[in-house]
């Protein structure tokens, strides 16, 4: 977490009114400038529908409450448990840091203090409603009857028949250098990643994921030294929705393992050795919504062929 100096705290606090932080005048300006470009209502761009990143919109008060594809992002009264605040205070080199490098400037120390204070005070939007486009019928500021996005409905369905799971269940994974998180406090579905282990993550260590296989909805093996053999673990993950293999040495043989992943919505193959032959496997996965191929060995012709087979998917090749 980035440090905030006492001077910055004082500077931010003197901006507050006697009634606390004013969202519209003190929070919204920097959220609009630094976050909304990637987190707003879907729009058309060169014939493609651009959706908000992670299904998270920040252009309307109701949307903050609705959350992202992973669930709630705002815990009113507790900034330290709010995913939005956690993301903006991560180390800037962390892949989950917001806003991403090159997209916008990080929040300043003063903005971070205001943001934290506003959330800790109860995350009151006051009279600000923002963009009401796409707003569901049932939304309350108390956080009840929350709307859910399409992907949240998928997660809800996948988790419906799974038993609750406790931290001790994934001790083997953490012991092998993996990081495990529940998608939300009450969800039995898990996100597993080995990014922090990097090149130290071996195929054998990644095999530890099998200990919680039915519960894994997201798997991130990016920036590791895995071989094609390590990807065989995904055949044991029937509820896998997101798979990140970017910046690894995997090739076409690895993708032979994904052909049975009927729930897969997202796969990242950026900077891999995958070719047109490998991505042909993806043509049989109709639920895919996003495929990242930039700096892989896939040709424009291969990407075009994949796009034709998956006309509703976003295919990124540059």
Q: Which of 132-141, 214-223, 226-235 shows the lowest mean pLDDT across its residues?
A: 132-141
Query: 156-316 falls under which CATH superfamily?
Result: Ribonuclease Inhibitor (3.80.10.10)
pLDDT at 19 over 60: no
Query: pTM for the full model?
Result: 0.62
Mean pLDDT of 283-303: 92
Q: How far apart are CA 14 and CA 7, in angstroms?
A: 11
pLDDT of residue 12: 42
Q: Summarize the confidence of residues 6-25 as an average pLDDT.
A: 57
**CA distance readout (Å), 213 to 166, 175, 216:** 14, 16, 6
d(CA 203, CA 231): 8
pLDDT-based confidence at 94, cuts 50/70/90?
A: confident
Domain with CATH 3.80.10.10 in the chain: 156-316
| Higher pLDDT pick, 69 / 307 | 307
Both tokens assigned to 224:
């590791």
pLDDT tens digits along 172-198: 999 999 989 888 778 899 999 898 776
What gap in Å lies between CA 6 and CA 11, rounded to an integer? 9
What's the rounded mean pLDDT across residues 2-14? 45
Examine the pLDDT at 2 and tell me if it is beyond 80.
no
pLDDT in tens, 229-254: 999 999 999 999 999 998 899 999 99
* Cβ neighbour number for residue 118 with a 10 Å cutoff: 22
Which one-letter DSSP state was computed for residue 98?
A: S
């Amino acid at each position: 977490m980035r440090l905030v100096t006492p001077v910055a705290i004082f500077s931010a606090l003197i901006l507050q009114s006697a009634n606390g932080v004013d969202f519209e005048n003190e929070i919204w300006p920097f959220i609009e400038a630094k976050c909304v470009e990637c987190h707003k209502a879907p729009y058309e761009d060169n014939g493609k529908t651009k959706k908000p990143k992670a299904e998270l919109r920040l252009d309307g008060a109701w949307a903050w409450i609705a959350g992202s594809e992973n669930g709630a992002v705002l815990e009113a009264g507790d900034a330290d448990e709010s995913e939005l605040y956690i993301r903006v205070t991560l180390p800037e080199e962390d892949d989950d840091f917001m806003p991403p490098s090159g997209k916008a400037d990080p929040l300043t120390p003063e903005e971070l203090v205001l943001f934290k204070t506003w959330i800790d005070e109860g995350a009151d939007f006051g009279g600000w409603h923002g963009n009401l486009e796409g707003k569901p019928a049932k939304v309350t500021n108390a956080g009840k009857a929350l709307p859910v996005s399409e992907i949240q409905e998928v997660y809800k369905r996948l988790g419906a028949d799974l038993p609750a799971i406790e931290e001790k269940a994934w001790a083997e994974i953490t012991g092998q250098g993996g990081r495990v998180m529940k998608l939300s406090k009450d969800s039995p579905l898990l996100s597993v990643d080995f990014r922090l282990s990097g090149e130290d993550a071996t195929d054998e260590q990644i095999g530890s994921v099998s200990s919680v296989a039915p519960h894994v909805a997201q798997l991130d093996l990016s920036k590791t030294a895995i071989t094609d053999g390590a990807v065989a673990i995904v055949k044991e993950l029937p509820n896998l929705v997101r798979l990140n293999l970017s910046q690894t040495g995997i090739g076409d043989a690895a993708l032979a393992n994904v052909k049975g992943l009927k729930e897969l919505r997202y796969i990242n193959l950026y900077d891999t050795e995958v070719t047109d032959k490998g991505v042909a496997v993806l043509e049989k996965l109709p639920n895919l919504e996003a495929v990242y191929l930039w700096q892989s060995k896939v040709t424009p012709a291969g990407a075009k062929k994949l796009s034709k087979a998956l006309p509703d998917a976003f295919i990124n090749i540059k």
